[in-house]
Structure 1
Amino acid sequence: MHPALQGLLTIVIGVGSCIGYFWASNQFLDRVLFPARGPNAGRNINRANMIRPWLFLFPALFALTLYLAYPVFETLRLSLTDRDQGGAFIGLANYTQMMGESKFWEAMGNNMLWLIVVPALSTAFGLLAAQLTDRIGWGNIAKSLIFMPMAISFVGAAVIWKLVYDARPPDAEQIGVLNALYVWFTGNDPAQWLTIPFWNNFFLMIVLVWIQTGFAMVILSAALRGIPEETVEAAIVDGANPFQIFFKIKVPQIMPTIMVVWTTITLVVLKIFDIVFAMTNGQWGTQVLANYMFDKLFRANDWGVGSASAIVIMLLVTPILVWNVRQARKEMR
């Protein structure tokens, strides 16, 4: 079947099934389970109205249970078993083995480095872009260009930047932009940027910063526009310069939004996999937790340690996620 036809058929079946479910559930509720007729009509209507929201929520709750809740508990179970022993319970042995591996601590260290650098730079650049684009006539065009990387998948962005870092032999023409500039300005041989220990992590981080800056800019731009003009005008009357207005008037008022953006990008960083996998595959000291988990599960075929590393990622993500949700709810009040 042609892919376009297959996609269209999937949409028709999916949408049709949803409409059919809601129609059939309404009919069953109103005509069979609690018919709106007879002496108990009023009570039946009230009962139906109490059940109807849960009936409509059932598909979403079922999907969340099947694809989120069940995998969490199954992953926890697998992290406490040994495949070589037929799935026998071995307690925390997988966690002990994982913590004894240098690659795990390399991944932990790199994840912490990503957590320090990427959210800070993405939020800072996003805030700077939001402030500057609000002050120029072609700001909407600039915002569109800055936001455009968000439309690219992480793998697509990784391929683009891998070409930027590409290195050809010294006697060949360089197609990598960075090496072309490096050779032209310094006269040195092209560098293998992604194999330089420690610094190669920063070359990978640039990709995620490039993507997430657009997200931060859009959210923070909306927050800046929501600042009351009276506070800015009062600061101008008091003789404040543009830097004082920005850092002492605007930034404090949008600090909750800045923190929400920061933590949202932090969640992305903790789960980073695609960029590292596509560009270095965790080699040359660039291993991260998600890539370590992938290696254990699908290359080493070790479901115990792989599941244990997945639980570690979940434990790192959960408190930040809870805090982020609470902050977002406060913003909505």
Structure 2
Amino acid sequence: MLSQIVSALSVVVVAVVACSAYFYFSNKILDLALPVKDGDIRAASRNLNRRALVRPWLFIGPALFLLIVYLVYPVVATFILSFYDRAGLQFVGLANYKWALGDREFRQSIFNNILWLAVVPAACTFFGLVIAVMTDRIWWGNIAKSIVFMPMAISFVGASVIWKFIYEYRGGNDVQIGLLNAIVQTFGGTPEVWISIPFWNNFFLMIILIWIQTGFAMVILSAALRGIPEETIEAAVIDGANGWQIFWRIMVPQVWGSIAVVWTTITILVLKVFDIVLTMTNGQWQTMVLANLMFDWMFRGGGDSGRSAVIAIIIMLAVTPIMVWNVRRANRELKGH
């Protein structure tokens, strides 16, 4: 443990020193390359303008380079790879895309992803908003918020392991150690292997992500609710509005921008969901989603880089419009201020 801590601190120190050295020496070289001499006012003015044009690129250059290497290049390479065979050597045209349209498991994954998109963002946003409103009205609200937010500190795999024990099933006459089956058995019901029930098992997996992300939605929406002027609420109360009307007609419209941000952020996360399905079912019992299908085609059964690349491109195409909308909306809000 100590060696790992020392190693991590060493990496941080080296990175800070390297960044400082880069910015210092790059600016020094720029000043030497474009000198400002007192004798030639015109040349000095021209070099100062050139420095002003070049200097910002010295700061954004490393980030831009990393963006191209680790984002732009992989996207282009994946797109090209989607037109090649499983080994990535022979050009096969649109054959991989035709396979995707005709494959039953691919269509099942698309259906499951749509199901996740329909349920998880809506549930997280709704529960987050309700909890934010309720906890702002009680004296122990901050404690409740901390408890609700706590699952955010757990990894998806860790959360899945926790819920795996909740859904655990023991056959025969064994004592049920799974919380859900123990409750069912207490009330005279029959224990089930919940995560193996087709269609409904998707919802049991969704509960895990809802449990994790509700805290995120609550924090964002709670901050937005705090920004609603008290005069607006007081005026509504004086006009005779009840709590339900204040919530839907006063609060929700004024925090709609934050609701949209939470919704779209969780939607992007849902499109990339992978860990929960892999840990809980490994895509069995009709729970496969696109990210898991891509993983299976890439790293299992000998691997098929062409088909996995097609699935990766489809996931990217699904995520991109939402990200573009989010960025444009954020830009409009900044211009509005």
- TM-score above 0.5: yes
> In the alignment, residue 37 of structure 1 is paired with which amino acid?
K
What's the counterpart of residue 204 of structure 2? 203
**Separation in 2, partners of 1:329, 1:234:** 32
RMSD: 1.5
What's the counterpart of residue 306 of structure 2? 304
C-alpha distance after superposition, 1:111-155 (max 9, x if no partner): 000000000100000000110111111111111111111111111
Alpha-carbon offset, residue 187 of structure 1: 4.8
Bigger drift between 147-156 and 283-292 goes to 147-156
**Separation in 2, partners of 1:222, 1:74:** 41
TM-score normalised by L of structure 2? 0.94
**Separation in 2, partners of 1:168, 1:285:** 22
Instruction: Determine helix, strand or coil for the equivalent of 2:173.
Output: coil
> In the alignment, residue 181 of structure 2 is paired with which amino acid?
N
Indicate yes or no: 2:243 matched with 1:233. no
Matches within 5 A, 1:30-109: 30=31, 32-38=32-38, 39=40, 40-84=43-87, 87-109=89-111
C-alpha distance after superposition, 1:72-128 (max 9, x if no partner): 0000000011145x6222211101012211110000000000000000100000000
Alpha-carbon offset, residue 36 of structure 1: 3.1
Bigger drift between 55-64 and 161-170 goes to 161-170
What's the counterpart of residue 213 of structure 2? 212
C-alpha distance after superposition, 1:28-85 (max 9, x if no partner): 112x21123342333322321221111110111011111110000000000011145x
Alpha-carbon offset, residue 176 of structure 1: 1.6
Indicate yes or no: 2:325 matched with 1:323. yes
Alpha-carbon offset, residue 327 of structure 1: 1.9
What's the counterpart of residue 133 of structure 1? 135
What's the counterpart of residue 15 of structure 1? 16
CA contact (8 A) 1:256 1:331 kept: no
**Separation in 2, partners of 1:88, 1:36:** 57
CA contact (8 A) 1:260 1:328 kept: no
TM-score normalised by L of structure 1? 0.95
What's the counterpart of residue 164 of structure 1? 166
CA contact (8 A) 1:260 1:327 kept: no
**Separation in 2, partners of 1:185, 1:83:** 52
> In the alignment, residue 267 of structure 1 is paired with which amino acid?
I
C-alpha distance after superposition, 1:217-259 (max 9, x if no partner): 1111111111122221111111111111111111111112211
**Separation in 1, partners of 2:330, 2:151:** 25
CA contact (8 A) 2:82 2:306 kept: yes
CA contact (8 A) 1:167 1:192 kept: yes
CA contact (8 A) 2:124 2:217 kept: yes
CA contact (8 A) 2:86 2:307 kept: no
CA contact (8 A) 1:271 1:290 kept: yes
**1:187–1:82 Cα change, 3 Å:** closer
What's the counterpart of residue 258 of structure 2? 257
Bigger drift between 209-218 and 43-52 goes to 43-52
> In the alignment, residue 94 of structure 2 is paired with which amino acid?
L
Structure 1 unaligned runs (5+)?
Answer: none
**Separation in 2, partners of 1:62, 1:43:** 28
Structure 2 unaligned runs (5+)?
Answer: none
> In the alignment, residue 197 of structure 2 is paired with which amino acid?
I
**Separation in 1, partners of 2:211, 2:123:** 10
What's the counterpart of residue 177 of structure 2? 175
Instruction: Determine helix, strand or coil for the equivalent of 1:89.
Output: coil
What's the counterpart of residue 29 of structure 2? 28
CA contact (8 A) 1:158 1:207 kept: yes
CA contact (8 A) 1:83 1:304 kept: yes
CA contact (8 A) 1:166 1:175 kept: yes
Instruction: Determine helix, strand or coil for the equivalent of 2:174.
Output: coil
